[in-house]
Amino acid sequence: MGAPGSPYTRKMIAYLRYRRISYTLHWGGIRGAPEGYPEPKVRLLPTFYFHRPDGEIEAMVDSTPIIRRLETEYEERATLPADPVLRFLNHLIEDYADEWVTKAMFHYRWAHEADAEHAAPLLVYWSMPTMARSDAEAMADMFSKRQIERLYVVGSNAVTAETIEASYIRLLGILDGLIARQGYVLGARPSSADFALYGQLTQLTTVEPSSAALASERYQRVRAWVDRVEDLSGVRPERGDWLAVDAAGETLKPLLDEIGRVYAPFLLANARAAMAGEDRFETEIDGRPWSQPTFPYQAKCLHWIRESFASLSADDRARIHALLDGTGCEPLLA
Ligand SMILES: N[C@@H](CCC(=O)N[C@@H](CS)C(=O)NCC(=O)O)C(=O)O
């Protein structure tokens, strides 16, 4: 169950299509779970309902572990690279897309009045297409008020706006270069990191007028890529389509530099505040001040990155150290 305006829902629909895993989609959103389905632990979009062998339905949220589960249950057309070094980089990039790029998504949707007025009715009609116009308008007003009040939660405010917007524009340029090379971030076949970036970009490059205009003016290649990734069921991936690990450092350098520039300092400052039991923190990101409430889930994200790094062989860890050297991502490993 998900909604077209949810970047994680879009990530997962495109993922399922590429993997040729059959599914039934319930467009939901504001309405909540479809009738007869269990509630997940946390109400989030998308929610996945797995039919268990004992006949029970299991509700699951969080796109990243759902993908890991589906990668185990279905073998063909994997989106996690087999090489452990590349697989680690895939995890890092997927996490950056899910947890940092989403700041840009939420910021562009709600921080500027024209964008917010554009999005609010869409969010209602995506979920309830038959609602009477006057009711829909009232609901859109209520919803946009709530979301604008929550901008501070992701760290979007007058102080951080420039940092968020500049990082979105740099990402477009970096992706333009990567797509031009081989079609996807990690080579000539899509990875879970591609689907994560795609999910955020479905909103940023096609829904929000401000951020979409930035993509259409200068990064038409990225804008076109978003349309293609929606359905990659016809792509036939080969084992050799993954980026060669020897080439990964050079190819991915601009993206890893970007992650080290904005996401690494964010994750570290957030985790430090979470450890100290502080409910908000201030730090510097990309040469500008950054302040926001502590986000406990993202402290776990850092923990998971470290856990997956620690599970690798000494050889693979050394290769990753060499790859990340000078990117700003090094403290994520410590
Ligand atoms: N980490 C989750 C994030 C899912 C998420 O945050 N979904 C948003 C919508 S895109 C949500 O449901 N937010 C709750 C709300 O808006 O009330 C994932 O990867 O699926």
pLDDT in tens, 229-287: 999 999 999 999 999 999 999 999 999 999 999 999 999 999 999 999 999 999 999 99
Mutate to test the pocket of ligand 1, among 30, 44, 204 (most ligand atoms within 8 A of CB): 44
CA of 63 to the centre of ligand 1 (A): 9
Structure tokens at 26: 């319930």
| pLDDT at residue 32 is higher than 80 | no
| CA-proximal residue: ligand 1, atom 17 (nearest) | 44
By the 10 Å C-beta count (0-12 exposed, 13-18 middle, 19+ buried), 313 is classed as exposed
Ligand 1: does its nearest atom lie under 6 Å from the Cβ of 98?
Answer: yes
Q: What pLDDT is recorded for position 120?
A: 97
Structure tokens at 285: 């990101």
Q: What pLDDT is recorded for position 31?
A: 63
Ligand 1: does its nearest atom lie under 6 Å from the Cβ of 298?
Answer: no
| CA-proximal residue: ligand 1, atom 6 (nearest) | 44
CA of 43 to the centre of ligand 1 (A): 8
CA of 2 to the centre of ligand 1 (A): 10
Ligand 1: does its nearest atom lie under 6 Å from the Cβ of 192?
Answer: no
**Residue 152 Cα distances to 109, 123, 290, angstroms:** 13, 20, 11
Q: What pLDDT is recorded for position 98?
A: 98
CA of 109 to the centre of ligand 1 (A): 15
| Residue percentage of the chain with pLDDT more than 90 | 96
Q: What pLDDT is recorded for position 34?
A: 84
**Domain segments of the chain as ranges:** 7-73, 84-110+154-333
Strand ranges inside 258-321, DSSP E: 280-285, 288-293
- Ligand 1: nearest atom to the Cα of 147: 16
Ligand 1: does its nearest atom lie under 6 Å from the Cβ of 99?
Answer: no
Mean pLDDT estimate for the chain? 96
pLDDT digits (tens, 9 = 90+) for 40-57: 999 999 999 999 999 999
Ligand 1: does its nearest atom lie under 6 Å from the Cβ of 47?
Answer: no
Q: What pLDDT is recorded for position 284?
A: 97
Task: Decide: 221 and 180 in contact? Cβ < 8 Å.
Answer: yes
CA of 70 to the centre of ligand 1 (A): 19
CA of 181 to the centre of ligand 1 (A): 32
| CA-proximal residue: ligand 1, atom 15 (nearest) | 44
Ligand 1: does its nearest atom lie under 6 Å from the Cβ of 203?
Answer: no
Spatial distance between the Cα atoms of 198 and 223, rounded to a whole number of angstroms: 10
Q: What pLDDT is recorded for position 124?
A: 94
pLDDT digits (tens, 9 = 90+) for 151-190: 999 999 998 999 999 999 999 999 999 999 999 999 999 9
* pLDDT range class, residue 29, cuts 50, 70, 90: confident
- Ligand 1: nearest atom to the Cα of 6: 10
Ligand 1: does its nearest atom lie under 6 Å from the Cβ of 208?
Answer: no
pTM check: above 0.85: yes
Ligand 1: does its nearest atom lie under 6 Å from the Cβ of 156?
Answer: no
DSSP 52: -
Ligand 1: does its nearest atom lie under 6 Å from the Cβ of 6?
Answer: yes
Of 91, 268, 287, 108, which Cα lies nearest the Cα of 204? Answer: 108
